[in-house]
């Protein structure tokens, strides 16, 4: 992805080494907004290994303004057995509150749609909290539709360990 100029002298680009503290700050801001301020266990070092290690499996597009990361789209590649093609899972989309309404969120998500188009991916998917009306309104405005009848399932912690141990 080539860097792209945005309003207010901001730039949309792929993350690069050195962005980890700004990315982590955005992740923490999202956790704070989602009422889970103590849930972030990630670190600058873990982000560095994940994003810039030998075999990256996750990727980030950033909006940088005045040398600061002010927004991120954190994503990874998925695969649809039904379409037989890859897609993108958008794990986190956040623009820091003081930088909203400048088109940065739309530019971030559009950059992922462009990746899908360039690579022949069939879908771009994500979840949103049901109480997050501003985000839901934004997603509807860009043409996203909810997946009726689908709910997210998750195994973590003790339940994950217990199930994994059933194969021992």
Q: Write out pLDDT tens, residues 59-105.
A: 999 999 999 999 999 999 999 999 999 999 999 999 999 999 999 99
Q: Whole-structure pTM over 0.85, yes or no?
A: yes
pLDDT tens digits for range 92-141: 999 999 999 999 999 999 999 999 999 999 999 999 999 999 999 999 99
CA proximity to 98, closest of 40, 33, 16, 142: 33
How many domains does the chain fold into?
A: 1
Write out the residue range of the structural domain in which residue 58 sits. 4-165
Percentage of the chain modeled with pLDDT above 70 = 100
> Mean of the per-residue pLDDT values for the chain?
96
Query: What burial letters (b/e) apply to 124-135, b meaning 16+ CB within 10 Å?
Result: bebeeeeeeeeb
Domain with residue 63: its CATH number is 3.40.630.30
CA proximity to 108, closest of 122, 123, 93: 93
The pLDDT of residue 81: 97
The pLDDT of residue 162: 93
Given pLDDT bands bounded at 50, 70 and 90, which one contains residue 51?
very high
Which residues, 6+ apart, have CB-to-CB distance to 74 below 8 Å?
A: 23, 27, 58, 59, 60, 90, 91, 92, 93
Residues known to be catalytic: 139
User: How large is the average pLDDT for residues 31-58?
Assistant: 97
The pLDDT of residue 116: 97
The pLDDT of residue 168: 78
The pLDDT of residue 1: 86
Residue 27 has pLDDT above 90, yes or no: yes
């Amino acid at each position: 992805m080539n860097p792209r100029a945005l309003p207010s002298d901001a730039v949309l680009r792929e993350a690069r080494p050195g962005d980890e503290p700004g990315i982590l700050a955005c992740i923490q801001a999202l956790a704070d907004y989602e009422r889970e301020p103590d849930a972030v266990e990630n670190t600058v070092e873990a982000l560095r290994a994940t994003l810039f290690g030998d075999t990256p499996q996750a990727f980030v597009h950033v909006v940088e303004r005045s040398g600061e990361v002010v927004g991120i789209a954190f994503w990874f590649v998925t695969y649809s057995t039904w379409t037989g093609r890859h897609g993108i899972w958008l794990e986190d989309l956040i623009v820091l509150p003081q930088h909203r309404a400048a088109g940065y969120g739309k530019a971030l998500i559009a950059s992922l749609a462009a990746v899908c188009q360039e690579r022949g991916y069939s879908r771009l998917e994500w979840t949103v909290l049901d109480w997050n009306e501003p985000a839901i309104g934004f997603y509807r405005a860009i043409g996203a539709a909810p997946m009726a009848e689908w709910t997210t399932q998750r195994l973590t912690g003790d339940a994950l360990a217990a199930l994994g141990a059933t194969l021992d």
